[in-house]
A and B are shown apart, each in its own frame.
Chain A
Amino acid sequence: MKGPFLRSPQSTRGLMIQVLIAATPALIAAVVRLGAPAAAMIVSAVAGAVAIEALVHRRQLGDGSAVVSGVIVVLLLPATTPPWLAALAGATAIGLGKAPWGGLGKNPFNPAALARAVLMVVLPAHFFAPMWRWDAVTAASPLSKEVGATAPGWSALILGDVPGCVGQAAPWTIVLGGLILVVLRTIDWRVPLAYLSTIALIAVVLPGGARVAGHAPWLIGDPSIHLFAGGTLIAAFFLLTDPVTAPMSATARVGFAAVAATATMAIRQFTPYPDGAVLAVLVANACTPWFDRVTVERRITPPRAKRSRG
């Protein structure tokens, strides 16, 4: 193997523990809010992820990355997800999102986002139910366009009084977890800042497509719903900040976050999909090799190699 190598005082296991600590407030809020079903989902998703990791990469089991994938994927699932589907999501995150690519540190897509997207295509009935149960009330996500959702206020959005995925039980706990990660320097603060500010900017300036303008006009011009509803906060603090699937340079990471934000808003404003955050993360992940090529690789490639390549 050729150098140069960079050494970090942080171990993989240490990083995973920090992410788990940051996700704990959101998990507690989900269990408090949704009760035993949420606890069953969390246990099932983690068990599914760990079981596949034990089968495929037993030596990596101790680093805790499978537990982290299981926890993050459960935050992305609808609150009505049955435990078997949560287990399948955890297993998919490792079985398709990590194992085939060579294990930890080699996957091009975020495993949790990949699992959520793949299951959404394979089992759409569980992800596109227009009405979700939330606090014993059946209602639609405020990001829904054609099911009679209404515009919630700021406090409802921040406290989580709107239907959505498990991570939406209390959005402020996701922000708290994100701030913990920023303070611990586990994640690059530029990524959530660039993602959230681009979402807010686009929400203000982008006109809604016919699907939005005709059915859910509150989605135009109001950044609060786009920032706090759906998977925006989870994507900002837990998905886009994955160091394996994000670009290497800080400048590229800002562009990467902007691409994800643009894709999120394009999906929300111009397609029938209620939330595009997870799919936008995968689109941004797919752009990562290009970002690395134009920022890092171009700088470290010797001029002679560049000439011979051309």
Chain B
Amino acid sequence: MMPIAVYDAVFVAAAVTLVSDRRGRLGWVALVPLIAAAAALAPLGDHRYLIAPLVALVATLPPVRAAAPALVLAAPAYGSLRAALLAAALFLVTVWLADGLDRRVEQRGAAPSWRGAPARFLVLAVLYAALLPVGHL
């Protein structure tokens, strides 16, 4: 099975966060890539098979509303702590930008059929395209 790319995982996690409408523990969610990267670097020898379940367990420790995006962010293979830091920053920036745009779309009165989740997905799709060069850093 091909692992999910870091850039894609960030946007899936952001989509889950935005659609759930219950923002909680965003700081914790952003910490998960760092935990996953640190765990991957840990000297576990023959017990490396423990990394994935342990990271998944840690990611789901916060309240359940933050578990889904945290698990998504735990999935990719982070090559370095720098990559994990970048993913964490990208996640926070994406959610922040999408939140601001979501409010703007609501204020300006988008078509009723587009309000809510459809508008948020479209905003995320545009941000995915606009921030794509970050995925190459």
Total contacting residues, chain B, CB less than 8 A: 27
Interface positions, chain A 253-269, Cβ under 8 Å from B, are: 266-267
* B125 cross-chain contacts in A, Cβ below 8 A: 118
Does the CB pair B133–A267 fall under 8 Å?
yes
Q: Is B48 an interface residue (CB 8 A)?
A: no
- Out of B110, B123, B129, name the residue touching A117 (CB < 8 Å): B129
Main secondary structure of the interface of A (DSSP, over half): helix
Interface positions, chain B 53-90, Cβ under 8 Å from A, are: none
A279 to B119, CA, bound (A): 20
Does the CB pair A286–B97 fall under 8 Å?
yes
Does the CB pair A100–B119 fall under 8 Å?
yes
Does the CB pair A289–B101 fall under 8 Å?
yes
Q: Is A288 an interface residue (CB 8 A)?
A: yes
Closest to B114 in A: A100
Interface range on chain A (Cβ under 8 Å from partner): 20 to 34
Q: Is A114 an interface residue (CB 8 A)?
A: yes
A288 to B108, CA, bound (A): 14
Closest to A266 in B: B133
CB distance from A219 to the nearest CB of B (A): 15
- Out of A118, A288, A289, name the residue touching B129 (CB < 8 Å): A118
Q: Which residues of A line the B interface, CB within 8 A?
A: 96, 99-102, 105-106, 108-109, 114, 117-118, 120-121, 266-267, 270-273, 276, 279, 282-283, 286-290, 293
**A to B CB contacts below 8 Å, 24 in the list:** A101-B108, A101-B111, A101-B119, A102-B110, A106-B105, A106-B108, A114-B126, A117-B126, A117-B129, A120-B129, A121-B129, A266-B133, A271-B134, A271-B137, A273-B133, A276-B133, A282-B129, A282-B130, A283-B131, A286-B101, A286-B127, A286-B130, A290-B100, A293-B100
